[in-house]
Amino acid sequence: MPPFPRLRFAPSPTGSFHLGGLRTALFNHLLARKWGGKWLLRIEDTDQTRLVEGSVDEIRSGLEWAGLNYDEGPVVGGKYGPYFQSQRLDLYHSHTAELLKKDHAYRCFCNPAQLAEIRLRLVNNGSMAGYDRTCRTLEPEEVKHNLSLGKPHCIRLSTPDEPTPRFNDLVFGNPSPNPVPVDPIILKSDGYPTYHLANVVDDHAMEITHVLRGEEWLPSVPLHLTLYSAFGWEPPQFAHLPLLLNEDGSKMSKRTGVGAFVSEYREQGWEPETLLNWLVLAGWGGRRDPYGNQDLAKTPVYLSIDEDLIERFDLRNFTHRRSVLAPGLLAKLNRPHIHAKLSDPRERRKIVEKMLPIVKSHFPDSPNANYEFVEKALLALEHQLDKLGDFPSISGYLFQEPDYNDPAVVMAKKAVGSFDSTACLKRAQEELASLEDSQWTEPEIKRALDGIKQEVGGTKKLMSALRYALTGGKVCFSLQISAG
């Protein structure tokens, strides 16, 4: 272990903040805190054609929401900045000049038509090289002449004709490495570096000791090691995290699929701590507690981010199998977390204060849209909440009279059945009206309803009719509580 571990989360702002990105940030956070090191946020925005406006703000906001506070990066600052790669072009140019001086790189003046012809010829000859090193052997005078004419060019790395570098990955062990591409471009004709050059230069300049990133970058490691060797630098340790999969086994893509983005979970009202637990447990296959033998499908284990996870997190326990995210497990983790928060007066106050404006926006004319009533309603309904975002939809009958013409309410009426619910309700009303004010307690209401259940066709019919009349739906909390 280096004396001062340094890690980084380096997303590209090319779309919405993905769950895979949040997991990568989480793992960097956990290991940095566990090892007594630091982690930074670096924005890899060198591919100017793919930038999406607002992505950087969404990444920063998502990290803040999740409680993952980086030590260095945009806004926070730090001595290794700037933390946007687009603001570090001079650094990449100077290091590229160093490679040119050492003959580890060269200028390539091939235009797109020439490159297409070269690739076609190589493919026809059975080669997957991609480039034939045409410009690698240009004489210095020809290079000077082309530069004097202002001829567009890129800069390519001179890859050595040596065996592919092997390496140890902290998750995947010793994978079979992909061949290093033949003389890949490292600085494009527009002056921007490729991902590979910028990544290696920045990790070295920022003194990164451990690189944790997605599995999709595993094939790039041999090229990165070749760059480290060309510069004469010591590479960091690598750990590649398995891809996240949907429950059906398909890839949780950045561009397709519902539930792939952090913003969706925020908007739906999931607890950030639960989401982080869910992502961690998926790394162990989503089934077993990594710190015990419990079957998480039956007994989910919730671990606090700032204590349990930091103390117990260990990459050696991480599987290299691709991780399936099971939505059912997220709900199982979230329910007890909501209960724990509502049981703590301080946390409960935060939740009520968070939910109150939401309730007021849904039910602006309700006299019950106040702090005290919302608090009571949350406590009464907590066992029906998979997430706090469900509260407005399942509590509507507490804040306004049901609209019995609403399609959802009509469907609920059909579910009650074909029996005479009106007669059933009339009989219940008569029985409850006979109660004295002092008898409006849960035991007395239950006794009164029990006394007529056989008369009206049984408990199921009585309760179904009452639920529909009181709530316009099929489900609510205890009817004794509702009636009170």
In this structure, are residues 480 and 440 in contact, taking their beta carbons and an 8 Å threshold?
A: no
User: Assign residue 448 a region: left if phi > 0, alpha if psi is -120 to 50, beta otherwise?
Assistant: alpha
Task: Dump the DSSP string for 292-337.
Answer: S--BTTTS-----IIIIIHHH--GGG---SPEE--HHHHHHHHHHH
* Active-site entry in 254, 360, 376, 446: 254
Q: In sequence order, which residues have a C-beta less than 8 Å from that of residue 393 and are 6 or more positions away?
A: none
Helices 327-343 and 272-282 cross at an angle (nearest 10°) of: 140
In this structure, are residues 203 and 279 in contact, taking their beta carbons and an 8 Å threshold?
A: no
Q: Which amino acid is at 391?
A: F
The long-range contacts involving 308-316, CB below 8 angstroms and separated by at least 24 positions, are 309/30, 309/276, 309/277, 309/280, 310/30, 310/33, 310/34, 311/34, 313/27, 313/30, 313/31, 313/34, 313/280, 314/290, 315/27, 315/31, 315/170, 315/171, 315/239, 316/170
Q: Rounded distance, CA 436 to CA 453, Å?
A: 20
CA distances from 259 to 51, 66, 77 (A): 22, 16, 32
User: Assign residue 213 a region: left if phi > 0, alpha if psi is -120 to 50, beta otherwise?
Assistant: beta
Told to judge if 254 belongs to the known catalytic residues of this protein, a careful annotator would answer: yes
* Tokens 């570096």 belong to residue: 193
* Tokens 């609920």 belong to residue: 412
Task: Dump the DSSP string for 297-309.
Answer: TTS-----IIIII
| Catalytic residue set | 254
